[in-house]
Structure 1
């Protein structure tokens, strides 16, 4: 819904310090915690900056995730989709009850028990990449040597996607997430990746096995008689991108942050049982996919004392909420013993991140192994020379040169 109401800011707002939210968030949260903002799509929307308001919105049945609806607030210009290409909805853009059933069908793939079964293989992948890193020249780019290939390999093996195609799908995802890529180029990347996964799912339907998630989903569909090819393509698309981009960026950001806070890093080295707590704090501090909590109202509803009318878009600024002093004491401090898991880095409500157990386990294995096997690791350039992803809808690092 586009209107001419006065706006308080235009999103996205840039981080002045790469380790902190945009300073304007604090001003908004203090002076105008629910305010109208302009979006790159040309729309206006309500921006939520308080943790309580964001959680309330995400748990309300009166907000939709349907990204095809023209009222949905987009952080990029809406691409023009060719009419002969029908839209394939994925979990992230479904609403209940359709979303409820689709999530039930796949949630068993991401239980803690299932993740523990993957742990030995993930450890092997991490060890192999650190072996190669140690055997290679210095400095090395940790993004290319470890951060990106580890979660890419893991999600490929989980889904049943050939890792030999990783350069192709990583190139597509980079274009899709880069705000500076023209809409027409982003649309081409979208269709290329969608066509690739369409063909992959078709091949698996012709020879489905229990060896990977897509094969298991196909066999399950046959048992119930509810074969949904397009839905499976949409699921593969979502999991392939989300399954490697987010974790890869958190590996790089987490490594830099722990190296910049040696007192916190020493706590992990002395007691690896604290690594998971450190991961929660890193997730809170960075909140790398903060506008994934965008929605639009399907009815008039009041949030935080403000009336949001049906059809109006809402952007939950999760990074602002995760630094809300009413939710976290001294929120700008990096404290691995904070013990706060009520952040919204993984979202909240029915759309809370499906793969969060996998992400936590990958991060735990990487950090424990990296700092144990490479105790002398350090960043090879000044922090202000690091190429942070200010141009991406998922925050992170383009490169991270390290020595050891």
Structure 2
């Protein structure tokens, strides 16, 4: 029995020594002074290119629709140019190296899921489902800026290095347990514990990387001429949908901070940047439009009738006034009715007239007021956190 244990220890030690040799340059192992060959390709670009090629071989389907490709490419190249020219502070990884600009490449994945991801070296992927989910170029630019920061700050390469360190620590711990003659069952428990610890640590690094990508993506979008509020409205909508369809709690296996936490951080960052937060400018929220219906011109709010009039110019004036008022982040109680007139925060908005409908002006004003309040209530309930 003792001989078997000794042989097992020798075998494990040999494997561990072999692993160390494989991890060291050949010159270190054999004492030779060989000069390493100059790299022909940036290591991160090589890593990303090889991963991209493997995904294509594995059946990853890309979208070639010219209109979609042009939209993604146009937004992506605007962001990429700024990423290669402007230093953006890094919370994780390394600040984008302006002396080594990346040749960013953008791809649309034929997948209905709302997702985007990036590989090291500037390979950025946007799912077709995400293009449908975003409600403006500003929202799409925020998401793509987030992914560009992952590549610019070398998040993937750093996460790989951290994972390698943890794997080495696990190997050392396993060898130590064997040499210390820890029972095999206890050794298995020890390895399980180290694996869970490794997952927790790497996910912790991943969450920090996500925070960095959120912060850097907002800066990048703003510098490229997009409204960074788009990233906020996108994230708030994700948080809302998470409430409607909550996922199973993953605990230490969660790789992203919760959407609500990320959205709150975005509000703070945009405010610190001195920028206004007008959600209507980047998302399909409380949209005011006009429509001609026979002899009447209708003013619509989110596609629902607010009022109608026989005077097209009057409809246009009312729509403009309502649109301006809604930019003030109104609450339900800000809307008041006085006779046949509607007021917003004490300011006159519109007075309903005979001919605006088949009902009396006072009743028309009552219906319009209720409709506006209901739209604001839905916005507060579903549109923001």
Q: Which structure carries more relative contact order (alpha carbon 8 Å, separation 6+)? A: 1
After TM superposition, the score normalised by the length of structure 1 is 0.23
Q: What's the TM-score once normalised by structure 2's chain length?
A: 0.24
Higher helix share: 2
Structure number, greater radius of gyration: 2
